């Protein structure tokens, strides 16, 4: 049930992000080859997290910390898929080692933000959600963005054969990466209003880019 304190614009923002992440996830997964397939899985899991955030903002649950932790879980799992995408053509032993490190890193991240340095999420007077993550956790979030999402974006876009599509994909995803970092780190409402415009530009740019176009890859390789 929609809480009377819910900010409908924030709910719609997270629903928009969830839908576009899901759309892009399907678009890349449908190629059935890596690095695109695992990239699509990662994006779909991000979409699930955004859906959870939308539900949290809409309902203002009594146990906000628990519901935010549950919403973060698919987000963390998505980074595992992104690391898999980024390392798809590595030698087996090296890739296994990297995946083990990534899983250990992300398990540590989730444990730290949940139990050691627990986040204290809350809502501002304007109904905007704040994650209020502790500094050690923020650093790990930023490292996850840099090591997981940005690396996977680089690997995927270098294998898109239409250069305009590759360049625009990189630009719009970079806006989402930047916006994601701001979303996690800033508790200032004015900054988050500006950031919502940044993220929306990235989301809508990717949607327009791919809604009537396929991902152009070399099907012969």
- Does 220 map to a domain? no
Assess if residue 100 is contained within a domain: yes
Domain membership of residue 198 (yes or no) is yes
Asked whether residue 15 carries a pLDDT value surpassing 60, the answer given is yes
Domain-embedded: residue 16: yes
Looking at the chain, how many residues does it have? 221
In-domain check, residue 185: yes
pLDDT at residue 221 is higher than 80: no
Can you tell me the mean pLDDT for 101-127? 93
Domain housing 79? 8-210
Nearest to 6 by CA among 54, 49, 51: 54
Residues 41-62: what's their mean pLDDT?
97
Q: How many CB atoms lie within 10 A of CB 170?
A: 16
From 25-34, 140-149, 168-177, 208-217, the region with the lowest mean pLDDT? 140-149
Sign of CA dihedral 15, 189, 182, 64: negative
- The CATH number given to whatever domain includes residue 37 is 1.20.1070
pTM of the predicted model, to two decimals?
A: 0.96
The count of domains in the chain is 1
Angle 113-39-56 from CA coordinates, rounded to 5°: 40
Mean pLDDT for 133-161 is 93
């Amino acid at each position: 049930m929609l809480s009377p304190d819910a900010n409908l614009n924030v709910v719609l923002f997270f629903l928009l992000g969830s839908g576009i992440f899901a759309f892009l996830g399907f678009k890349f997964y449908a190629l059935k080859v890596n690095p695109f397939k695992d990239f699509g899985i990662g994006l779909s899991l991000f979409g699930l997290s955004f859906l959870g955030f939308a539900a949290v903002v809409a309902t203002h649950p009594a146990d906000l910390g628990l519901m935010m932790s549950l919403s973060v879980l698919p987000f963390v799992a998505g980074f595992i898929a992104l690391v898999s995408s980024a390392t798809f053509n590595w030698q087996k032993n090296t890739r296994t080692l990297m995946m083990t490190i990534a899983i250990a890193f992300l398990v540590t991240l989730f444990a730290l933000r949940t139990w050691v340095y627990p986040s204290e999420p809350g809502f501002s007077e304007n109904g905007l959600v704040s994650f209020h993550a502790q500094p050690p956790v923020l650093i790990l979030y930023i490292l996850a963005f840099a090591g997981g999402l940005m690396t996977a974006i680089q690997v995927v876009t270098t294998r898109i054969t239409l250069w305009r599509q590759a360049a625009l994909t990189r630009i719009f995803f970079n806006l989402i990466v930047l916006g994601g970092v701001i979303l996690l780190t800033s508790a200032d409402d004015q900054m988050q209003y500006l950031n919502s415009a940044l993220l929306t530009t990235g989301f809508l740019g990717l949607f327009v880019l791919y809604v009537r176009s396929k991902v152009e890859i070399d099907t012969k390789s």
